A and B are shown apart, each in its own frame.
Chain A
Amino acid sequence: GDSVTQTEGPVTLSEGTSLTVNCSYETKQYPTLFWYVQYPGEGPQLLFKVPKANEKGSNRGFEATYNKEATSFHLQKASVQESDSAVYYCALSHTNTGKLTFGDGTVLTVKP
């Protein structure tokens, strides 16, 4: 079945530093790839999605490129802010059912 593996957390950074959260996936389908973010007490919300290989998605300064050859979708941000503290999930969608398969999540804490 489908699987997603991402950087183990927790990750602690200082404001203004750069972030990389690695994500790799396995699937026999042609997936759409997603990054979701979850704040305390809330459900996951979409950060951005990329449906096509070799394309880049971005939102709020975060970005990731769908690398089909490497089966990777690493999340990056050049300069993190304290408000970016949250759990970040890499996910892929199943073509036929729409089911999202999540990675384990990476807890990010940004200190002022």
Chain B
Amino acid sequence: GPKVLQIPSHQIIDMGQMVTLNCDPVSNHLYFYWYKQILGQQMEFLVNFYNGKVMEKSKLFKDQFSVERPDGSYFTLKIQPTALEDSAVYFCASSLDRGNTGQLYFGEGSKLTVL
């Protein structure tokens, strides 16, 4: 089936550094999402993105977070500066449609460890 690829699979950085998580969504998809999952806990929505703009963001999407998708390239989540509480697995997802017809396809996650 359709695949969402995430790079890197695991990154360890020091608190205060910048990190960029990359997502290669399904090729014809139009809607892009980031979710955060702290070990053993629920999937928490961060942000979604369509037509070059953020559609909706949660309270977890702090000012230090940003997303973008320059034409034809990765959909990225940047955290600058990072904090200890940012340690989690970040899942990218994409969908062709939204709402009632939209099925999200998820990547395998990028595990971020902030020391």
A residues with a Cβ closer than 8 A to B are 30-32, 34, 41-46, 49, 51, 89, 93-105
- List the A side residues contacting B14 at CB < 8 Å: none
Which of B33, B97, B99, B109 has a CB less than 8 Å from the CB of A96? Answer: B99
- Answer whether A43 and B91 are a contact pair too, CB < 8 Å, given A97-B48, A99-B48: yes
Which of B44, B55, B101 has a CB less than 8 Å from the CB of A97? Answer: B55
Whether A42 lies near B108 (C-beta < 8 A) is: yes
- Answer whether A96 and B98 are a contact pair too, CB < 8 Å, given A43-B91, A49-B103, A103-B42: yes
Which of B55, B91, B100, B103 has a CB less than 8 Å from the CB of A95? Answer: B100
How far is it, in angstroms, between the C-alpha of A45 and the C-alpha of B107 when the chains are bound? Answer: 9
- List the B side residues contacting A32 at CB < 8 Å: 99-102
Chain B's closest residue to A100 (CB) is B104
How far is it, in angstroms, between the C-alpha of A43 and the C-alpha of B34 when the chains are bound? Answer: 12
Which of B42, B56, B99 has a CB less than 8 Å from the CB of A104? Answer: B42
How far is it, in angstroms, between the C-alpha of A97 and the C-alpha of B99 when the chains are bound? Answer: 6
Measured CB to CB, the closest approach of chain A to B92, in angstroms, equals 8
Chain A's closest residue to B92 (CB) is A43
How far is it, in angstroms, between the C-alpha of A100 and the C-alpha of B44 when the chains are bound? Answer: 9
Let me know if B112 is at the binding interface, CB within 8 A: no
Measured CB to CB, the closest approach of chain B to A20, in angstroms, equals 20
Whether B108 lies near A97 (C-beta < 8 A) is: no
- List the B side residues contacting A42 at CB < 8 Å: 108-109
Whether B102 lies near A105 (C-beta < 8 A) is: no
How far is it, in angstroms, between the C-alpha of A74 and the C-alpha of B41 when the chains are bound? Answer: 20
30 A–B contacts, CB within 8 A, in A order: A31-B100, A32-B99, A32-B102, A43-B4, A43-B108, A43-B109, A44-B43, A44-B106, A46-B103, A49-B103, A89-B42, A89-B43, A94-B99, A97-B55, A98-B31, A98-B33, A98-B48, A98-B104, A99-B45, A99-B48, A100-B33, A100-B45, A100-B93, A100-B104, A102-B43, A102-B45, A103-B42, A104-B41, A104-B42, A105-B42
How far is it, in angstroms, between the C-alpha of A45 and the C-alpha of B104 when the chains are bound? Answer: 8
- List the B side residues contacting A99 at CB < 8 Å: 33, 45, 48, 55-56
